[in-house]
Amino acid sequence: MFKKGAIEGIEIKTLKAFSDKRGWLMELFRSDEFGKEYFPAMTYISMTKPGVARGPHEHLDQADYFCFIGPSDFRLYLWDNRKDSPTYMNTMELVAGESYPAAVIVPKNVVHAYKNVGDRDGLVINCPNRLYRGEGKKDPIDEVRHEDDVNSPFRMDI
């Protein structure tokens, strides 16, 4: 059903650690590198255990700005579910994290999931462009979950 290929709007930025005798620093977001529609409204960090996946799901109004920096590595799965997109029905995967630190913009209506493919707990930072449940957490959650649908076309190679 889906075919492998690039997905319009997915932006991948290689992240670089700047090290010195004190440790290291990594720039995750710069407002001069992405369009204003992707500027963060909030930031959160999650920990995912080895072998565990999050998703697949999509957002109707929210774009995600994931930062995979380690520890551990994650396989990120993406499916273009936007009927008006020139890359509709494309799917792509990449491994990011400790071995390849990267930030990835996932536009709204692009179904996404990631799985910790390493052997230790892994951290993911997300800087979405919308507040979770809106101002004061009073709005419905902007998420369409596909992970519990046994007939979902969004399948990970788990």
Separation of alpha carbons 60 and 96, rounded Å: 25
Digit-coded pLDDT (tens) for 124-153: 999 999 999 999 999 999 999 999 898 999
Separation of alpha carbons 140 and 14, rounded Å: 33
Digit-coded pLDDT (tens) for 86-126: 999 999 999 999 999 999 999 999 999 999 999 999 999 99
Domain boundaries, the chain: 3-132
Radius of gyration of the chain (CA): 16
What's this model's pTM, rounded to 2 decimal places? 0.94
Fold of 3-132: Jelly Rolls (2.60.120)
**What does the pLDDT read at residue 69?**
95
User: What number of other Cβ atoms are within 10 A of residue 112's Cβ?
Assistant: 23
Q: Does residue 157 surpass a pLDDT of 80?
A: no
Separation of alpha carbons 90 and 64, rounded Å: 18
Contacts of 98 by beta carbon, 8 Å cutoff, 6+ apart? 69, 70, 71, 72, 73, 118, 122
Digit-coded pLDDT (tens) for 27-53: 999 999 999 999 999 999 999 999 999
